[in-house]
Amino acid sequence: MTVPVNQAGTQVNDAARYRWLVLAVFVLSTAINYLDRATLSALAPVLTNEFHLSNAQYGLIGSAFSLTYAASAPFAGLLIDRIGLNRAISFAVGVWSGAGIATGLTSGLGGLVGCRAVLGVAEAAGIPAAGKAIHQYLRPGERALGNAVNQAGVSLGSVVAPLLATWIALRSGWRHAFVVTGVLGLAWIPLWLWVSRRAPAAPRPAQPRVADAAMLRDRRLWVFAAANALSMVGYFFWFFWTSKYMVDVYRLTLQQAAWYVWIPPVFACCGGFLGGWLSLRFVERGRAAPAARFRVCLAAGVVSLATAALPWATSPGWAAAGISLSIFAVAAFSVNMYTLPLDTFGAAPAAFAISILVSSYGAISTILGPAIGAVIDHRGYTPVIVAVAFTPLAASAVLWFTRSTR
């Protein structure tokens, strides 16, 4: 029996809406990922005081996470491509939730380093799994917008973390904050398994599989990794140091800092959506997808330059505004940067391709963690912030001069 045209159109629209709903549920795992990750940075002033940590030692905790995150990401991507999205993400969320809960039981620097290392191993699967989900459920032109939705999950976790963690810490102690965020992750697993079984995947043309070994020999993959590492310097810095920056520079209490720290992630969400929307519009107007992504990345790099003036902000409010602009630009860049491997290498190796970018972020973060701490201990925050303002434009230059998006 032939389906009437209007009924068929309605069915297609319903399927599209349902795919976006399922992706939104998946993005909750990203929010929980960053909630678990950001709880430590939100409570950094409390932890550094309780365990008598220097800025360099605090940077070491970040490097412990980043090192295992970078080393595990390619294997996580391979695992997701081999065993499937649902089983891989369920296992990963379970492990990183357990590591988060264990952080609340630590008694010193060694325990914090160990828990963050395990957290890095498990959370390395988060962004590759999101890339796989975006490729599985969305059409090609929608992918940057899908990454923007995922960026909204990052922002949600980063917004909630300082408010929730501070609220719990003031009432029940900082240890309970880690336990609560870990339990939220465990509760997500059955929700996702139930919803994903009802999800129609987006129709797509057949594509030849790109072998992982062949993809590793493709120069474009390593160019993307290098550009991503540069572009994410500012993201790492503000994600890990914003609370301490507000407390150290403006002499705020933890509770006072929390009222400013949640603002930049909101602007990150806005930057992600604007970056995704702009690239979608360029594609709809006939520009090739990689070239559309590059245009947005270049614009974001130019905007980022303005944040070099942040060290001269005269109040916490102006500082929050400057940080917000910086993270806005990074997010607009990032949603397009993480879409380029999907445009270039196709569906089958999507998680592995994204995992190389994740690994590049982890690698640069491993190096920067103690290095930034040492610079702050001896020179203050100004040299770091000025450098951070230029890294997205430097990443755009890497893409341009290697002709990897043309």
**Model confidence pLDDT, tens digit, residues 41-57:** 888 888 888 888 888 88
Torsion, CA 333, CA 336, CA 338, CA 341, rounded to 10: -140
Given a cut of 70, is residue 204 above it in pLDDT?
Answer: no
Residue 146 has which token pair?
């899908």
Residue 344 has which token pair?
């270039």
Residue recorded with tokens 């602007």: 267
Residue 262 has which token pair?
């949640």
How far is C-alpha 264 from the geometric centre of its chain's CA atoms?
A: 14
pLDDT of residue 80: 87
3-state secondary structure of 199: coil
How many CA within 13 A on the CB side of residue 52? 0
3-state secondary structure of 205: coil
What percentage of the chain reaches a pLDDT higher than 70? Answer: 90
CA distance linking residue 124 with residue 70, whole number of Å: 7
CA distance linking residue 320 with residue 342, whole number of Å: 33
Cβ contact 272:144 at 8 Å: no
Q: Among 131, 361, 154, which Cα is nearest to 271's? A: 154
Given a cut of 80, is residue 347 above it in pLDDT?
Answer: no
What average pLDDT does this structure show over 154-170? Answer: 83
How far is C-alpha 4 from the geometric centre of its chain's CA atoms?
A: 43
Confidence band, pLDDT 50/70/90 cuts, at residue 160: confident
Residue recorded with tokens 């191993």: 121
What average pLDDT does this structure show over 270-287? Answer: 89
**HEC-encoded secondary structure of 270-285:** HHHHHHHHHHHHHHHC
CA distance linking residue 243 with residue 49, whole number of Å: 14
Higher pLDDT, 391 or 11: 391
